[in-house]
Amino acid sequence: MAEFDFSDLSDEDLFLQMQDDLYDGLADEVVAGVQEALRRGFSAQAILDRGLVAGMEIVGVDFRDGILFVPEVLMSANAMKAGMELLRPLLTQTGAQQLGKMVIGTVKGDIHDIGKNLVAMMMEGAGLEVIDLGINVDAETFVEAVKAHRPEILGMSALLTTTMPYMKVVIDALGEEGLRESLFIMVGGAPVTESFAQEVGADAYGRDAAVSVEIAKEYLLRRQNQPT
Ligand code: B1M
């Protein structure tokens, strides 16, 4: 376990320490930092924004610049996931009635799942049942999941410029199976943009997890209020 005493730190230093520990891939320390922030009454969203996501942004920059390499980034990712696990109950707990169902996955060729997991957790928290297909999901698996679960919403995540075009492959495959029209398709991930979402024929672009939840809720409420 972490031996560092987090309780001595100011709030600002606590979050800076969390970012440092995430950068260094120290899962136990990240967990201890998150616990301390929760003890101080910070919301899950604040801990994500000021600690975990902020830390991962620094990792991303140094990864891009060749200062960090895959094994180190993997350790940071694991530390982030450990911190997120503590936030999971807060993010997924919902007093809301079941709003609808969503199938989500990271597209084929892509193994990045932190953002997708965050979106899934926050969707659950908003009252959606989420079927998470995981990473490296091919079009056939998306199609089969839509047939099996009949969700109102399908979400796709991609973090690589080389994998984001696969979103169109999935949307086309759903069209060929006659499943496209009944679905609201949302896409997201760091390289995805509003115009890319339109290009591939998605219904919405989710800039981040919070925005994605708002878009999904708005769509489901609109749908419920539509005369049948
Ligand atoms: Co990767 N990686 N990586 N990586 N990695 C990026 C994406 C990169 C931008 C880093 C860089 O160069 N700066 C770069 C991509 C460059 C590009 O394509 N233009 C890159 C690269 C190159 C690679 C490899 C090719 C490296 C290599 O092998 N040489 C390799 C590819 C592996 C593969 O997928 N085939 C690789 C591997 C890895 C690790 C395995 C080490 C690890 C992933 C671990 C894991 O996910 N379990 C990793 C990581 C951690 C990153 C960075 C550093 C962080 C990603 C992350 O988790 N961010 C990333 C740098 C960056 O993105 N700036 C990078 C935190 C997360 C909360 O944000 O995922 O953006 P994000 O999710 C947000 C929104 O985007 C949105 O909401 C989320 C929450 O707010 N969102 C959605 C995401 N999905 C959504 C779906 C929706 C809606 C919203 O649907 C409805």
Residues 149 and 212 in one domain: yes
CA of 159 to the centre of ligand 1 (A): 5
Write the pLDDT tens digit of every residue in 196-214. Answer: 999 999 999 999 999 999 9
Task: Report pLDDT digits (tens) over 129-184.
Answer: 999 999 999 999 999 999 999 999 999 999 999 999 999 999 999 999 999 999 99
Q: What is the mean pLDDT of the chain?
A: 95
- CB of 206 closer than 6 A to ligand 1? yes
C-alpha 190 to ligand 1 mean position (Å): 7
Tell me, using a 6 A CB cutoff, whether residue 59 lines ligand 1. Answer: yes
Number of structural domains in the chain: 2
Residue to mutate, 23, 50, 58, 63, ligand 1, most ligand atoms under 8 Å from C-beta? 63
Which of 96, 127, 147 is the C-terminal boundary of a domain?
Answer: 96
Distances (CA, A) of 24 to 10, 14, 65: 21, 15, 16
Per-residue CA distances from 162 to 107, 152, 200 (Å): 11, 28, 14
Decide whether any atom of ligand 1 lies within 6 Å of the 73 Cβ.
yes
Distance CA 153, CA 131 (A): 10
Q: 31: CA distance to ligand 1 center in Å?
A: 21
Listed in sequence order, the residues at least 6 apart from 162 whose beta carbon sits closer than 8 Å to its beta carbon are 109
- Identify whether residues 179 and 168 lie together within a single domain: yes
Are residue 71 and residue 114 in the same domain, yes or no? no
- CATH number of the domain where residue 16 is located: 1.10.1240.10
What per-residue confidence (pLDDT) applies to 5? 84
So what's the pLDDT on residue 228? 62
User: Is the same domain home to 115 and 214?
Assistant: yes
Alpha helices in 42-138 (DSSP H): 44-47, 53-64, 70-92, 114-125
From 65, 96, 127, give the residue that closes a domain: 96
- Coil/strand/helix, residue 102: strand
Verify that 73 and 143 share a domain, yes or no: no
Query: Cα(134) to centroid of ligand 1, in Å?
Result: 14
Please, which residues have CB within 8 angstroms of residue 90's CB and are 6 or more apart in sequence?
43, 44, 125
The answer to whether residues 82 and 29 belong to one domain is yes
Do 139 and 217 lie in one domain? The reply is: yes
Looking at 96, 111, 133, the residue that finishes a domain is 96
Calculate how far, in angstroms, residue 113's C-alpha sits from the geometric centre of ligand 1. Answer: 8
Closest residue by CA, ligand 1 atom 87: 188
- Identify whether residues 181 and 103 lie together within a single domain: yes
**Residue 49 shares a structural domain with residue 139:** no
118 with 217, same domain?
Answer: yes
Nearest CA to ligand 1 atom 72: 115
Q: Which residues contact 1 (CB under 8 A, 6 or more apart)?
A: 28, 32
Closest CA to 184 of 71, 108, 100, 125: 100
Q: Can you give the CATH number for the domain in which 206 is found?
A: 3.40.50.280
61, two tokens: 């920059």
31-90, pLDDT tens digit by residue? 999 999 999 999 999 999 999 999 999 999 999 999 999 999 999 999 999 999 999 999
Evaluate if residue 1 carries a pLDDT over 70. no
- The residue range of the domain holding 49 is 1-96
Q: Check whether residue 25 and residue 108 sit in a common domain.
A: no
Question: How is the beta sheet containing 128-132 ordered, strand by strand?
Answer: 128-132, 100-106, 153-157, 184-188, 204-206
- Check whether residue 86 and residue 73 sit in a common domain: yes
- The pLDDT value recorded for residue 49 is 95
Burial of residue 8 (number of CB atoms within 10 Å: 0-12, 13-18, 19+): exposed
Question: Residue 155 — φ and ψ, nearest 5°?
Answer: -115, 135
Cβ(191) to ligand 1 under 6 A? Answer: yes
Does residue 206 sit in helix, strand or coil?
strand
